Chain A
Amino acid sequence: MDLLIIGVDTGGTFTDFLYNHGGRWRVYKVLSTPDDPARSVLQGLEHITRVFSCRVVHGSTVATNAVLERKGVKTAVITNAGFEDLLVLGRQNRSRLYDLFYRKPDPLVPASLRFGIQGRIDASGSQVQPLDAEALDGIVQSIREQGVQSIAVCLLFSYLNPGHEQAVYARLQELGLPVSMSHAILPEFREFERLSTTVLNAYVSPVMSGYLQRIKDSLAPSLLRIMQSNGGSISVEQAMQEPVRTILSGPAGGVVGALHTAGAAGFERIITLDMGGTSTDVCLVDGELPLSTEACLSGLPLGVPMLDIHTVGAGGGSIAVLDEGGALKVGPESAGSDPGPICYGRGRQITVTDAHLFLGRLRPDRFLGGEMVLDKTMLNQALTIMAGQAGLDPLQLAEGILAVADANMERAIRVISVEKGYDPREFTLVSFGGAGGLHCAGLAMLLSIPRVLIPVDPGVLSARGMVQADVIRDYSLTVMLRHKDAFCEHLEKMFRPLEQKALHDMQEAGFASGEVSLQHFLDMRYKGQSFEIMVPWEPGENKTDKFHELHRQKYGHHHPDREVELVNVRLRAVGFPDKPGPDLLPHAGPELPDEARLGEAKVMFQGGFCPAVILDRNELRPGNEFSGPAIVTEYTSTVVFPPFARGRVDHLGNIIMELS
């Protein structure tokens, strides 16, 4: 089989291509072209695919950036009359409590393009007022005159009865514009979150469609799939319909890559640590990809299921300052790549990267494979001044900067683990991203995590995740069943339309019904609560027991005598494309090859300098073993092994760090 499988990740400075051909993995990188992201993608694909037909999985930031930069299209929205301003009202609260000058994010749709229409469905799904179809004439006229390019429709209780939304949709067809309907995008209750999600979809839809069409045309007849934020890929046609599912898909690739890499290495329960220049993403995976429906992008709620990734403003470029009250703060402000840390030559403010260099943990001559030389001269002065103000010596200050950055990340990991009833001691930390290797050992110590896995090519783990991602479609429906006895008899009936739609969509994506795994979930809560727990369900089962148990695990208490409410039914359809396995490397002994030893350096650990061996990762072989203190360098990252750590290279080339 000469099929070439390519993962394409446009997340960073470089567009990464990871491809497998003839059983071997290769990496290719092209400088990204943010003004026209398709250019770097097509350029790279052309380089790789000259000869072969291929399957490409692409993680695109086009939809995310369109929202962040407010560069979507002119969008109109239709709601019930009397609710035209729902986008502005939001949930009435403010995101910053102590801000006398608080301002809301601008709505994506201005007042002149927000239309209301009479007609009402009630909380049981019954029509209490018919739709005023005649009023649609005026709306259609106005939309046409104002040069609208996309439309969102969100009517109350449409998840129970989509009749009114469908009638509006039928009438809008004559405009020939893309229409996003809330009951199709997110058939779940809570009107503001559903509206916001539907409007986001409409807002980015033409931008994303144009971009994807261009790539698809250039690739034809090869197969193109698009990465979603839920950790799976979908067909390019579905991504054009529901681009909202690709928003924030970038970090998802890394988590999927970590899950598969760790799984192949024998670790099912992982916490991912993706530390870059400005922020760090962490995610806890207990065998299954964790989902959340409470995401937000620049203040706009996004209710589609997404990997539950927690982000904190701590990265290599995070700036350290001594505030007026005398505390040492690190981040969330970042020096980015311009001006960058002081040691890059132009920065003025001390960053986390500077502290690493000062302590000997970063090798000035090995940064980016030696392409960039880090400069310590300016750094000494800056650290000495700040250390004087802090009442510390410069080394203590540099260690302090790392300790504060670690504390910020520790807090993020505690939110996803300890606070949700998980014990980090039972997990493996999977570290990637440019700065992960510098902090993983310290973080593992803080959280008593026994082991860290540093995958092969940690810089392109996200592209690897895209190649390894299953094809996944998520479906949901708010049903709001109050009575215990209604569960079993209704459930299968409620899932049936979702299953039919799922099998139909998966068939379009190239999977026959026998090849599709259907996973059922029930969102449940005690009557009166407003947060649901997602409980796995098998047809024929009565699952309230499982719900009580999960409630106790998550929150420490349960109420078996209270009435349970079934809020949503969820269906996840998974198709399993062919995936090449990891490269198998010949086994060498524990002895390190001489080529791997680059020298020795004095490195500061816990207040004292000690000699650390410097190792070249490219020369390490499966089976090799070593102990800290050690510094392992490779092109895009550096891994620090403190004195208490031991390292080995596993049969797949991953480095496993064990902490005693």
Chain B
Amino acid sequence: MPKKAASLNPVLLEVFKNRFASICEEMGMALVRTAFSPNINERRDLSCAVFSREAEMIAQAAHIPVHLGSMPLSVQAATQAVSMQEGDMVMLNDPFQGGTHLPDITLVAPVFAGGRYPLFYAANRAHHSDMGGMSPGSMPLSSSIHQEGVIIPPMKIVRQGMIREDVLELILKNVRTPQERRGDLSAQIMANITGIKRLQELVHKYGPGQVQDYGSALMDYSERITREVIAAIPDGTYRFTDYLDDDGHVEHMIPISLELKIQEDQVYLDFSRSADQVAGCVNAVRSITMSCALYVFRCLAMQDIPANSGCLRPLRVKTRHGSVLDARHPAAVAGGNVETAQRIVDVILGALSRAVPDRIPAASQGTMNNVAIGGENPADGQVFTYYETLAGGMGACSSLNGASAVHSHMTNTLNTPVEALEHSFPFRIHRYKVRRGSGGKGEFSGGEGLERELEVLVPCEVTVLSERRAFRPYGLEGGLPGAAGENMVIIQGKRRSMPGKFKVILSPGDRLFIKTPGGGGYG
């Protein structure tokens, strides 16, 4: 266990914790307030973080957990592939080179303060509502990465303070809503500039050595607390397996298996017995698996510690290259970041429930219920793409019922208000309410899912990517599982059941009706 270096002062440690956190938050505010698509500014599907010179994450604002463990790999990929000078900024989304899935674009900026080498990196990631590919919204039922959209390897989008218009133009030509993309990317660039400015001010005030020392002290700090959390869990080996329903193509019942070993203040997570990678789009790259592990142990800390690379140090994560949790190019990965990530968390929590049952809740809805809709708006002749995720039930725990209709685990996006949605898109929402009776029964009941019914007013192409339509969210200690989700379309007044993953063309007046899963019960 790292000991506190004698020269580090507990007062300055707290002061720097405060300052790094507020820099990330300010970057997030800059991005949210000036982005051009509802997916970023209303739903806040983004993350901002600050990294050390060695590309270790010092602090991340409390945005979206699934970005936690994967952001450092983006920064590593950027620094390895491109040599950055002052005024440069690198962009990437390639899942096999630091990315997660194509809609998530990460921008990495070096922070110089005089010297020849950067002292820090500022980075932010935002989910763009379309990156081209076979389906509007770029969350397709694909069987290869090449169907999912534009792949951007780490490359400079800003060079010496100037946006590279030719590069940008190449990307914009390949997406459905180029103006929105351009606006969102410029908001992302500004967010990084905000981060650079604040970090430079900090260095100016305290000197580069001290700021870097306390940056690394903060990672040690989170590591110490994480190790104490792990040490409090009884030593032993705990196993758990849960399943993905299907891959949207041919595979069904895809096992995610974990052998979790606690040894003093160290934890070994071995996922190598999970399924081979599949043809459909639910493959996850390894960084997503890392994010999930980091998320769970960050939650167990139960106090306000910086979510940074220090939390990862006591975790040894083993995955098998070519498996569904460590996919190999050119696997389809659109759903790995959203759906598979939720299942990985369920499996880690399931294993931990065997060690510390009082501290682990039953399964939450275990899906994000991704809906992407594209079409042409007759009002202005413009092509639109819309993307949303739907909340569901949270799992009950040893002392409380689960919360209803809320996003859980790896996501925390907001909804798009109905009045904003109907103003911007040719849709009408007819139902948006709690799905009663969907929470798993038990001494404490799981939270309820929700029901949403959406009518399209113009011809639209709809893609739904959802899970927990077959394998229900588990209960614990005798609690019953939550209800499975249900997908339906109502075409010309006729209701039709749909699978968990589907694509359909709807005509004006047709409706999409989704019921999201409830959480598992406890006891």
A526 CB contact (under 8 Å) in B8, B36, B403: B36
B14 CB contact (under 8 Å) in A329, A415, A528, A555: A329
Question: Interface stretch among A56-64, A83-91, A360-368, A619-627?
Answer: A83-91
Contact A327 B10 (CB under 8 A): yes
Docked Cα-Cα span, A216 to B4, in Å, equals: 63
Docked Cα-Cα span, A526 to B193, in Å, equals: 21
Contact B41 A104 (CB under 8 A): no
Given contacts A123-B422, A528-B37, contact A326 B221 (CB under 8 A): yes
Contact A324 B406 (CB under 8 A): no
Tier of interface size on chain A: 35 or more
Count A-B pairs with CB separation below 8 Å: 202
For A158, the closest partner residue in chain B by CB is B419
Contact A529 B34 (CB under 8 A): yes
Given contacts A324-B225, A325-B222, contact A85 B14 (CB under 8 A): no
Contact B433 A190 (CB under 8 A): no
Which residues of chain A from 66 to 93 have any CB-CB distance to chain B below 8 Å in the complex?
Answer: 82-86, 88-93
Contact A93 B14 (CB under 8 A): no
Given contacts A82-B433, A326-B224, A403-B15, contact A92 B10 (CB under 8 A): no
Question: Interface stretch among B72-80, B139-147, B154-162, B301-309?
Answer: B301-309
Contact A555 B34 (CB under 8 A): yes
Docked Cα-Cα span, A392 to B224, in Å, equals: 20
Question: Interface stretch among A13-21, A95-103, A457-465?
Answer: A95-103
Contact A404 B37 (CB under 8 A): no
Q: How far is the CB of B41 from chain A (nearest CB, A)?
A: 4
The interface residues of chain A lying within 8 Å CB-to-CB of B415 are 89, 91-92
For B412, the closest partner residue in chain A by CB is A93
| In the assembled complex, B430 has its CB within 8 A of some CB on chain A | yes
| In the assembled complex, A427 has its CB within 8 A of some CB on chain B | no
Contact B400 A101 (CB under 8 A): yes
B36 CB contact (under 8 Å) in A86, A88, A92, A529: A529
Docked Cα-Cα span, A49 to B419, in Å, equals: 51
Q: How far is the CB of A387 from chain B (nearest CB, A)?
A: 10
B38 CB contact (under 8 Å) in A189, A330, A530: A530
For A403, the closest partner residue in chain B by CB is B11
Question: How many B residues, CB 8 Å from partner?
Answer: 83
Which residues of chain A from 178 to 217 have any CB-CB distance to chain B below 8 Å in the complex?
Answer: 189-193
| In the assembled complex, B26 has its CB within 8 A of some CB on chain A | yes
Docked Cα-Cα span, A526 to B222, in Å, equals: 40
Most buried by B among A85, A192, A390, A480: A85
Contact B414 A93 (CB under 8 A): yes
Contact B18 A557 (CB under 8 A): no
B11-54 CB mask vs A (1 if < 8 Å, else 0) is 10111011100100010011011111110011010000000000
Contact A324 B224 (CB under 8 A): yes
| In the assembled complex, B418 has its CB within 8 A of some CB on chain A | yes
| In the assembled complex, A414 has its CB within 8 A of some CB on chain B | yes
| In the assembled complex, B450 has its CB within 8 A of some CB on chain A | yes
Docked Cα-Cα span, A555 to B349, in Å, equals: 41
| In the assembled complex, A8 has its CB within 8 A of some CB on chain B | no
The interface residues of chain B lying within 8 Å CB-to-CB of A411 are 18-19, 22
| In the assembled complex, B135 has its CB within 8 A of some CB on chain A | no
Given contacts A104-B403, A104-B406, contact A89 B14 (CB under 8 A): no
For B364, the closest partner residue in chain A by CB is A100
The interface residues of chain B lying within 8 Å CB-to-CB of A540 are none
| In the assembled complex, A587 has its CB within 8 A of some CB on chain B | no
The interface residues of chain B lying within 8 Å CB-to-CB of A426 are none
| In the assembled complex, A562 has its CB within 8 A of some CB on chain B | yes
Contact B433 A84 (CB under 8 A): yes
Contact B190 A192 (CB under 8 A): no
Q: How far is the CB of A93 from chain B (nearest CB, A)?
A: 5
Contact A122 B422 (CB under 8 A): yes
| In the assembled complex, A400 has its CB within 8 A of some CB on chain B | yes
The interface residues of chain A lying within 8 Å CB-to-CB of B404 are 88, 104
| In the assembled complex, B496 has its CB within 8 A of some CB on chain A | no
B391 CB contact (under 8 Å) in A92, A192, A328, A529: A92
Which residues of chain B from 388 to 421 have any CB-CB distance to chain A below 8 Å in the complex?
Answer: 390-391, 394, 397, 399-400, 403-408, 412-415, 417-420
For B205, the closest partner residue in chain A by CB is A446
For A410, the closest partner residue in chain B by CB is B18
Given contacts A85-B433, A92-B415, A325-B222, contact A407 B15 (CB under 8 A): yes
Contact B361 A100 (CB under 8 A): yes
The interface residues of chain B lying within 8 Å CB-to-CB of A324 are 224-225, 228
| In the assembled complex, B180 has its CB within 8 A of some CB on chain A | yes
Most buried by A among B11, B19, B37: B11
Contact A528 B433 (CB under 8 A): no
Q: How far is the CB of B433 from chain A (nearest CB, A)?
A: 4
Contact A326 B423 (CB under 8 A): no
For B34, the closest partner residue in chain A by CB is A555
Docked Cα-Cα span, A322 to B11, in Å, equals: 10
| In the assembled complex, A408 has its CB within 8 A of some CB on chain B | yes
Which residues of chain B from 112 to 129 have any CB-CB distance to chain A below 8 Å in the complex?
Answer: none
Given contacts A82-B433, A89-B391, A89-B432, contact A400 B299 (CB under 8 A): no
A621-658 CB mask vs B (1 if < 8 Å, else 0) is 00000000000000000000000000000000000000
Contact A555 B33 (CB under 8 A): yes
Docked Cα-Cα span, A306 to B193, in Å, equals: 31
Contact B432 A97 (CB under 8 A): no
Given contacts A89-B433, A327-B10, A327-B221, contact A102 B403 (CB under 8 A): yes
The interface residues of chain A lying within 8 Å CB-to-CB of B33 are 529, 531, 554-555
Can you identify 19 A-B contacts, CB atoms within 8 angstroms? A82-B432, A85-B434, A89-B432, A93-B44, A94-B403, A94-B408, A103-B400, A123-B423, A190-B417, A327-B10, A403-B15, A404-B11, A529-B34, A529-B35, A530-B42, A531-B33, A531-B34, A555-B30, A557-B186
Task: Kindly list the 9 A-B residue pairs having the minimum CB-CB distance in the complex, ordered from nearest.
Answer: A400-B11, A528-B36, A82-B431, A92-B391, A530-B41, A325-B221, A91-B414, A328-B10, A85-B433
- In the complex, besides A85-B405, A100-B300, A555-B33, 16 extra interface pairs with C-beta distance below 8 angstroms are A82-B453, A85-B432, A91-B417, A94-B412, A98-B62, A122-B428, A123-B423, A156-B422, A326-B8, A327-B14, A390-B10, A403-B11, A404-B11, A530-B41, A554-B33, A557-B34
